[in-house]
Amino acid sequence: MTVQFRAIACLLLLTAGAFAGPTHASAGDAVKILAFGDSLTAGYQLPPEAAFPVQLENALKPRYPDVTVVNAGVSGDTTKGGLARLDWALSDDVDAVILELGANDALRGVNPVFTDQALDGIVLKLKQRGIEVLIAGMRAPPNLGQDYAAAFDPIFSRLADKHQALLYPFFLEGVAADPKLNLADGMHPTAEGVARIVENILPAVEALIARVNAR
């Protein structure tokens, strides 16, 4: 092979590499997760460092030092409100979303059909933008009756199946109805309660990160 031929071959390889497009993400790549929810995400009556997104990021850092978790929780938000504010809550560099909405719909007795439609709209928008989703499920309060629960509770798993999204079945698993892990209102977790949520949901979030890194 002549020197001139080698030079041409190298140039062709470099040119091909320039147009080959992005490579798949690796485990060390930066990943930005948006925690999109209500007061359970926002950290109602807690210091900022005790809120779910901060505690989750701290728990992830030892294994995923380049992961950031952004707090996009709004106290009192419903699924309808979440759908309305989704576009301006998202930045172009968001890779994944933890979707935690629905508790306020249940507390207000919103028709589960409307909750389903709003959550479906949120997940659809996220998937259309290529954003991976972890749906954090919720359960209806017992005082709303069995009929309401039968219509409300399955929404989250059904949407996860429909959109092939990840699912964490119940965001307050191990925390709901435990006085030691909730504030005096009995609905919002203490800092220790949030720590329990983070501990429980961590494997699902790691699966979310794996999906981002596999793209």
pLDDT tens by residue, 58-89: 999 999 999 999 999 999 999 999 999 999 99
Residue where the block lists tokens 């933890």: 98
> How do residues 157-215 score in pLDDT, each as one tens digit?
999 999 999 999 999 999 999 999 999 999 999 999 999 999 999 999 999 999 999 99
Whole-number pLDDT of residue 194: 98
**Per-residue DSSP letter, 23:** P
124, with CB counted inside 10 A (0-12, 13-18, 19+), is middle
Mean of pLDDT values over 17-26: 34
CA 197 vs. chain centroid, Å, equals: 13
Residue where the block lists tokens 């409300």: 152
Output 117 or 11, whichever has higher pLDDT.
117
Whole-number pLDDT of residue 57: 98
Whole-number pLDDT of residue 29: 76
Annotated active-site positions, please?
39, 185, 188
Whole-number pLDDT of residue 22: 33
Neighbouring C-beta atoms of residue 5, cutoff 10 Å = 9
* pLDDT score of 9 more than 60: no
* pLDDT score of 14 more than 60: no
Report which of 153, 159, 156, 20 is spatially closest to residue 100, judged by C-alpha positions.
Answer: 156
* Residue 2 confidence class, pLDDT cut points 50, 70, 90: very low
Neighbouring C-beta atoms of residue 179, cutoff 10 Å = 9
- Annotate 151-211 with DSSP letters as a single string: HHTTHHHHHHHHHT-EEES-TTTTTTT-GGGB-TTSSSB-HHHHHHHHHHHHHHHHHHHHH
Mean of pLDDT values over 9-21: 35
Whole-number pLDDT of residue 28: 53
Output 17 or 190, whichever has higher pLDDT.
190
Output 22 or 131, whichever has higher pLDDT.
131
Whole-number pLDDT of residue 198: 98
φ, ψ for residue 70 (rounded to 5)? -100, 135
Neighbouring C-beta atoms of residue 139, cutoff 10 Å = 18
Alpha carbons 183 and 152: distance in angstroms, whole number: 25
> How do residues 24-70 score in pLDDT, each as one tens digit?
334 457 999 999 999 999 999 999 999 999 999 999 999 999 999 99
CATH 3.40.50.1110 applies to domain 28-213: yes
